[in-house]
């Protein structure tokens, strides 16, 4: 249910198209839950290929989830664009930094989490098992799997765990002493890597374990 009872949630007239199994969708869902926003969620069945159907292509021609549709019909895709809209429109509980300095730190760490953690984790699984062989990358174009790439991608995720552990040995949260979108992408990455790749957090990474316990116990983490 998110952070608050429905009565306390802020009604928005927004609709999020998402998939419960999609890590990028979860980046959107946690952000919405942390802000206490009431957003209608509509599932797109990726296994059935609903993202390629005409109805969804009108919402996002890139054929990926998530997408946020505004009351006037405007459709916003790309998680960071969705976040930017929500943060600007609902600035309470800032998730992208409460000052210019914080905003820069959140952007820096969130980009590292996506580029060095989440994207390699997705690549590590899509290049070995997922779906049709021509669907190694999400989106409108077909690409063949490269199984050898999965080995390197997995190594990159292992290094990401070590790098974030080192960061969290110095800071309470990823971007600083405040919870932010950088924590969301790191959490989504770790949970996805565990589910899809069986990669758990090593006992030696005590800072990462401490942080993972803390951010997982936030009500928004269930989103």
Asked if residue 121 binds ligand GSH (CB under 6 A), the reply is no
**C-alpha–C-alpha distance, residues 94 and 135, integer Å:** 36
Please say which residue, 78 or 102, places its beta carbon nearer to ligand GSH.
Answer: 78
Phi, psi of 75 (to 5 degrees): -115, 125
Q: Which residues, 146 to 175, sit near ligand GSH by CB under 6 A?
A: none
The yes or no reply on residue 184 touching ligand GSH (CB under 6 A) is: no
Using CB under 6 A as the binding rule, the residues of this chain from 35 to 74 that contact ligand GSH are 46, 51, 64-66
Query: Candidates 20-28, 104-112, 145-153, 202-210 — which segment interacts with ligand GSH by CB under 6 A?
Result: 20-28
Cβ-based neighbours of 78, under 8 Å, separated by 6 or more: none
Is the separation of the CB atoms in 179 and 29 below 8 Å? no
Say whether residue 180 binds ligand GSH (CB under 6 A): no
- Residues 72 to 91 in contact with ligand GSH, rule: CB under 6 A: 77-79
Distance, in Å, from the CA atom of 178 to the CA atom of 140, rounded to the nearest integer, reads 37
Q: How far apart are CA 11 and CA 36, in angstroms?
A: 9
The footprint of ligand GSH on this chain (CB under 6 A) covers a number of residues equal to 13
Residues in the chain: 223
Q: Which residues bind ligand GSH (CB under 6 A)?
A: 22-24, 46, 51, 64-66, 77-79, 135, 138
């Amino acid at each position: 249910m998110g952070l608050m009872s429905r009565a306390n949630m802020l009604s928005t007239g927004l609709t999020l198209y998402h998939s419960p199994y999609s890590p990028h969708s979860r980046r959107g869902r946690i952000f919405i839950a942390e802000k206490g926003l009431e957003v209608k969620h509509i599932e797109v069945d990726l296994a059935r290929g609903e993202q390629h159907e005409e109805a969804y292509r009108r919402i996002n021609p890139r054929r990926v989830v998530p997408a946020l549709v505004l009351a006037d019909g405007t459709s916003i895709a790309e998680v960071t664009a969705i976040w930017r809209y929500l943060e600007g429109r609902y600035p309470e509980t800032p998730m992208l930094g409460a000052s210019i300095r914080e905003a820069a730190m959140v952007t820096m760490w969130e980009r590292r989490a996506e580029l060095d953690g989440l994207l390699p984790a997705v690549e590590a699984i899509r290049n070995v098992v997922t779906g049709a062989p021509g669907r190694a990358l999400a989106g409108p174009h077909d690409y063949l799997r490269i199984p050898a790439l999965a080995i390197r991608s997995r190594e990159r995720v292992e290094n990401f765990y070590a790098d974030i552990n080192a960061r969290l040995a110095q800071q309470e949260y990823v971007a600083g002493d405040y919870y932010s979108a950088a924590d969301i992408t790191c959490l989504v990455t770790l949970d996805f890597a565990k589910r899809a790749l069986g990669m758990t957090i090593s006992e030696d990474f005590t800072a990462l374990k401490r942080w993972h316990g803390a951010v997982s116990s936030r009500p928004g983490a269930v989103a």
